């Protein structure tokens, strides 16, 4: 999962991750973890877990409401023909045969893994590297609600996105807009259309939906793998890796099976080691 802040009420959601685009940067505070003593018998750490879980659930409900509103706006843009739809293959033809510009709005953690040759990279959101009182709670929330699994970092809106696009492309440009899964690019299309760009083309399904022959790709990994990470990637439990395993056969699967076995053995060794240390400390106390 990924957590973003953005100055309009919008939401992007998918199975693997979601993007919150809210009117402010104030997310559910995790300050409740700084608990004061209580006269009840409930352990303090358990109270902290319960409160974090409740805040995460409220956060997700807000995400769902925002997503519904965003999807209605984006569907209207496409239905009214204000933003045209291209498949990844059609986008590839337009880029290679007609020399149409492709605007890659993905964050740096995805773009650096794989990109379309000749594309222009201007992220609408990028990895938030700041560490302050406002961003640390968001980063903790992002990690707790799925960042550890998906590997998606906390992202923040790039305030210079429109200015950089306007500097690079005139407003009458026939501009193809793409992201990894096809959702952040819709948010970009909405911003660009409202800023005066009227010849916009959206890549449906994102670059992840492209087949190997659709686009000329550069970078260390295939486009399909540019959006995965975290524990799920390490264990090979993403949809993209499962699809690759179906093609590659057992040799591909054995690599990730070995990793899972290694984790289980390491966890078992740590558990046994902790038991031994506990017994050793107990013997010291008794003597």
Residues annotated as part of the active site: 179
Cα 99 to Cα 44, 84, 176, 213: the distances in Å are 61, 17, 11, 17
Using CB atoms within 10 A of its CB, is residue 230 exposed (0-12), middle (13-18) or buried (19+)?
buried
Residues 102, 105: Cα–Cα separation, whole Å: 10
Integer Cα distance of 210 and 273 in angstroms: 48
**DSSP E strand boundaries for 2-76:** 10-13, 18-21
Q: Could you give the CA distance from residue 283 to residue 75 in angstroms, rounded to a whole number?
A: 69
Q: What angle do CA 178, 3, 106 make, to 5 degrees?
A: 20
Q: In 119-229, where does DSSP find H-type helix?
A: 135-142, 148-150, 161-168, 184-194
Which two tokens mark 201? 């083309």
Give which of 24, 10, 22 is closest to 74, Cα–Cα.
Answer: 10
């Amino acid at each position: 999962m990924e957590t973003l802040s953005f100055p309009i009420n919008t939401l992007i959601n998918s199975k693997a991750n979601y993007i919150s685009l809210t009117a402010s940067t104030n997310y559910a505070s995790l300050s409740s973890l700084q608990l004061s003593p209580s006269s009840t018998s409930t352990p303090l750490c358990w109270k902290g877990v319960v409160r974090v879980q409740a805040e995460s659930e409220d956060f997700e409900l807000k995400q769902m409401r925002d997503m519904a509103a965003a999807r209605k706006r984006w569907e209207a843009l496409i239905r009214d023909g204000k933003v045209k739809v291209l498949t990844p293959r059609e986008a590839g033809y337009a880029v290679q045969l007609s020399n149409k510009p492709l605007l890659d709005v993905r964050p740096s953690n995805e773009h650096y893994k794989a990109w379309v040759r000749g594309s222009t990279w201007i992220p609408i959101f990028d990895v938030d590297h700041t560490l302050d009182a406002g961003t640390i709670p968001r980063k903790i929330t992002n990690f707790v609600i799925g960042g550890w699994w998906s590997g998606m970092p906390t992202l923040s809106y790039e305030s210079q996105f429109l200015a950089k696009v306007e500097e690079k492309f005139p407003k009458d440009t026939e501009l193809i807009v793409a992201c990894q899964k096809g959702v952040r690019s819709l948010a970009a299309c909405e911003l660009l259309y409202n800023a005066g760009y009227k010849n916009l083309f959206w890549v449906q399904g994102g670059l992840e939906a492209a087949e190997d022959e659709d686009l000329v790709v550069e970078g260390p990994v295939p486009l399909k793998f540019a959006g995965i990470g975290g524990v799920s990637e390490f264990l090979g439990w993403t949809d993209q890796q499962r699809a690759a395993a179906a093609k590659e056969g057992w040799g591909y699967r054995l690599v990730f099976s070995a990793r899972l076995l290694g984790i289980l053995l390491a966890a078992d060794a740590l558990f046994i080691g902790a038991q031994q240390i506990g017994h050793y400390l107990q013997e010291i106390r008794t003597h």
